[in-house]
Structure 1
């Protein structure tokens, strides 16, 4: 096979070439192009095709196109292609195109950019988190001293009153709760900046659920959101840190409760066990997540909520990776679904 035959006939070549007439019907193309677009000579480019739109624009404006990146959905898979389109000088209304698949290259640079972004955020977090945690510890200690002093004075004073004591206790508890919330957020921020270790140990899935689900059901009652739980008859052993796994599930559950409460819907928690994995699925009845938001929600500090700083899902991703697992997020108008996938380990 000579060079020309290789370019025109081989399906293994990594670029596509094609020529079109003024009606955007295919005149000639190599095997790679025909395999990608599934059209033959004298057939027109499909209407939804980004290639068709660019060639139409080039013909209308009578300009060549060089190095434009287009997205094409080919058999349900999104490809990123670099396109070159030139008008033939010898023949009227003939357009030559070349397409180079740069999907893998784009994915590499996206991953590289994400890692660099996470590293930069981590360095910022490590440098500032302790500056917040130290004064926060002072605030917490001061609150404890105030509580002790007030209770002592109220107990020894003739002005002591049960209602006053209750009021003081309420505000002290509220302040301590807010300090704890701030502390938790800053701790997650700190996890972006420095390595942290999990206490991984073999835990039966049934044992984890027995200790976790009752608290979850109490939270559902407080939030006034119906919670439906579905558990498997089979059991499995996981290598996890129970505390951090609870934190991960709580993060997703909290979002599900909020979304379902607004829509007066339900939250469904189900668990499936296979030979190799255990999958915890959380499905809510909220408005769902737009498709263009799915990739963004894992980014640190990306959030659609006014009262959030956007570290929750990134924290979940980091923790699950340390457990050898991951999570998958999907959404539609009927709600959002999260699938937490963890590997099973041998009981030996």
Structure 2
């Protein structure tokens, strides 16, 4: 994903939608072109995309309550850029009910932007995720209210975008936010079947004869994500019967996007190994701005949503190999 924009209008809703999320892609997997996620009141998402894109419907179970529909559309307007002034967007298409959907944003604020990085709390809305969505946003900022033309129209009716309740960088903002450099990671997707060691493109740092995993690093789109275990994660086929181990892990990307901390648990029992990964420490931001630290403190979802994710797996020895049955669950904390 090259850039994204999220426009909320939850205080002035449409009959069906509460937000619109344009995304622009240019890669070998998805293709090249514009896609708009329409967030529905029932927390499902409708996905509208150009024919030049071929998004995977199965990937959208990490968004809210999952995919409502996916539809190819012809965009009457599809301008979406981010420059030194902010967002420049003019997007028009028709939804599944043939209603005209319009997003227009023209920022021309004379003050320089002061973007920052963060982990987006996208995963908070997912009810039945197949992976833990880590949306690391670089060059992230909000749309400023002054010197901005902004309107959202659906079926001819205007909807007022939500506003950020506190000033940021001494400037009043809309809650409309954007990133020109998102880095999307689907962490540890659920699996069922034969265990395959697919480490293509992964740098693995091991510890000693037992090949315990100390660190894994995966790169892409000019960024990298790191997973570090302390103590090192054991090699499961060397565990003795009755062995039970616990440790900590840290997930981190660029320092501006903070880190996630959690615990892991491994137990060998008969011909099975029980595994658990729980990001109990939540997201720990790395931010010096007082206004952002205050925002993260008041809006607890930013830090706390990873705590609600728990991954459990059972590994079974089968004819000299291993089978895995794993899943993610949302938990109270």
Task: Give the TM-score of the pair, scaled to structure 2.
Answer: 0.21
Return the structure number with greater helix share: 1
Structure with higher Rg: it is 1
